Structure 1
Amino acid sequence: MGLRDLKAFNLAMLAKQGWRLLQNQGSLVFKCLKARYFPRCNFLETVDSLNSSFIWKSIIAAQPVLKNGCYWRVGDGTSVRLMSDSWIPNHPTKKILVHPVEEKWEWRVSELMDPELREADWAESSRGHSGTKVWAKLWKLKNKIIHGGKLQAPTQLNKQASDLLAEFQQAQEQLTIVHRTSTESRWCPPPNSKFKLNFDAAIFLDLKCSGIGAIICNENGEVMGAISTKGPQVQDSTEAKVLACRRALEFSIDIGFFELVIEGDSAQVLNSLMSSDTNLSWLGHIIVDIQCLVAGLHWAEVKLVKRDANCVAHSLARYAKIIVDDVFWLEDSPPPALEALYFDSLQFQ
């Protein structure tokens, strides 16, 4: 009859208030509630008290809703506790599975990162050989601090920061990124000496996975590279296409193409990519990854097109359903998309 589940609806509204306490920490309401109910922890860690107000008891009742859906966006990792915080995306528990024997040292995710090489050993699972390497590195870092090891002097860190800032500003001056929305329903070649990257995704509910397809062509419509690969199980088409966009850019950079027209048919994904606002959605960390990849290109133009102008990438994404390993084509037309390629060549010629 269309009747709402009033209990679930009420919890959703209360959880929204809890989310505001996590995001708007400069508000007067947050400062008052924090001083009264959770002065030494955050909202997700606090527990209810016997003498709390009815308003606070109502908000805290929705805390499990946020705990089930929230996890940290790592950043520099200095605020994220390695063991107890939820920080691993696309993982059932969002936490480290196997803990070390000794847990007296409160490790942070930042301790997995090498500040000089800018490398991170992302421990999605702490088991096996890679897990041993992670714990060995953590143990070494702990001993370095406890037993009198030398840390980098602040002056040296400041010099490194200044050099990196100068390098970043110089790169931004050289980079030209054009944002454009197109209503074209047919594929068009890129400008001379540039390349066009088309990407798309498909969802295979029966296999509990997704498919990713991408193709790079030159100004003559000739294929420079293409990929068809399976992706993880996703919740919706937006997640699938965000992952496809990131994988397509990684593929382009790996085979040496840095001047790209990037085309897709998802308005939501490309608008998020072109936005300068902080993306607070649950896919925001992947959007940031894509923006970093685009910023590393020598020249880039982002275009939104209709599905008819993205048929080749769509064919490759659908082809991923019947493959086991990733399939690549370099300077060769992919057989699963020959018909779509032929149709595109007739259109722009």
Structure 2
Amino acid sequence: MFQEFTEVHPATPVQASSPQQSRPKWEPPPPSLLKINFDGAIFKETEEARLGVVVRDSHGLVLASLAEKIKLPSSSDKVEALAAVRAITLAMDLNLPSFIVEGDSEVVISDLRREEESLASFGHLIYSIKHYLIYCNCISFSHTRRSGNSVAHFLTKLAKTIDDVSVWIENVPPQVADVLLVGCG
């Protein structure tokens, strides 16, 4: 019976997509712009959240990176919004010129792109980011998958080992350098 079925319905060849096609890599910003990637992660077992931020130029060179441990907020979206706030405040602290902000939370990026007020539970954070943008030159907000945001993601993992916040200028910590060298995020 199976043989009759396969004769009538021949198998359709399945094309496996290569890992490189399905895994987006970090894309550099246009020349003269910077890109700030952010990520947030929840660690319920320790009742903490962690934030990671990395600033790079159009050549992929790191201008600054940050890892921070915070108390556990009420939702993962709120953690991502807090990471976006941290990205913008780092940009302001460093007096950065024009930049693009990129993260892997579609919800947060979508709310940042909207002109109308966010009604989300983290809407006050979106409002504060937009307020900060009056003082700096954010060109746009961009969404990427985690594979295109891996340096910021690994910085969130590193935040487990710090007490509060750590900032590295023109570098990333050694534990994250391998991710940066691979060029995937």
TM-score category of the 2 structures, normalised to the smaller one: 0.7 to 0.9
Question: How much does 1:274 deviate?
Answer: 0.7
**1:46 matched residue in structure 2:** none
AA at the equivalent of 1:223 = V
Q: Is the 8 A contact 2:34 2:55 kept in 1?
A: yes
Q: Which of 19, 22, 33 does residue 194 from structure 1 map onto? A: 33
Partner deviation per Cα, 1:7-51 (whole Å, 9 max, x = no partner): xxxxxxxxxxxxxxxxxxxxxxxxxxxxxxxxxxxxxxxxxxxxx
Counterpart-to-counterpart distance in 1, 2:96 and 2:36: 9
Matched, 1:317 2:156: yes
Q: Which of 85, 103, 112 does residue 264 from structure 1 map onto? A: 103
**1:142 matched residue in structure 2:** none
Q: Which of 77, 81, 90 does residue 251 from structure 1 map onto? A: 90
TM-score by length of structure 2 reads 0.83
Question: How much does 1:334 deviate?
Answer: 2.2
Q: Which of 7, 22, 42 does residue 203 from structure 1 map onto? A: 42
Question: How much does 1:267 deviate?
Answer: 0.5
**1:229 matched residue in structure 2:** 68
**1:341 matched residue in structure 2:** 180
Give the fraction of aligned pairs with identical amino acids, expressed as a percent. Answer: 29
Q: Is the 8 A contact 1:265 1:304 kept in 2?
A: yes
Q: Point out where structure 1 has 5 or more consecutive residues left out of the alignment.
A: 1-182
Partner deviation per Cα, 1:237-276 (whole Å, 9 max, x = no partner): 1011001100111011101213111110110001011111
**1:290 matched residue in structure 2:** 129
Counterpart-to-counterpart distance in 2, 1:331 and 1:281: 35
**1:216 matched residue in structure 2:** 55
Q: Point out where structure 2 has 5 or more consecutive residues left out of the alignment.
A: 1-21
C-alpha distance 272-299 of structure 1, shift in aligned 2 (>3 A): closer
Bigger Rg over Cα: 1
1:1-349 correspondence to structure 2 within 5 Å = 185-344=24-183
Question: How much does 1:299 deviate?
Answer: 4.3
**1:120 matched residue in structure 2:** none
Greater relative CO, 1 or 2 (CA 8 Å, sep 6+): 2
Counterpart-to-counterpart distance in 2, 1:184 and 1:278: 33
> What is the Cα-based RMSD across aligned positions, in Å?
1.8
TM-score by length of structure 1 reads 0.45
Question: How much does 1:236 deviate?
Answer: 2.0
Counterpart-to-counterpart distance in 2, 1:280 and 1:190: 30
Counterpart-to-counterpart distance in 2, 1:299 and 1:247: 14
Q: Is the 8 A contact 2:70 2:164 kept in 1?
A: no
Bigger fraction of residues in strand: 2
Q: Secondary structure at the match of 2:46?
A: coil
Q: Is the 8 A contact 1:258 1:298 kept in 2?
A: yes
How many residue pairs end up in the alignment? Answer: 164
Q: Secondary structure at the match of 2:149?
A: helix
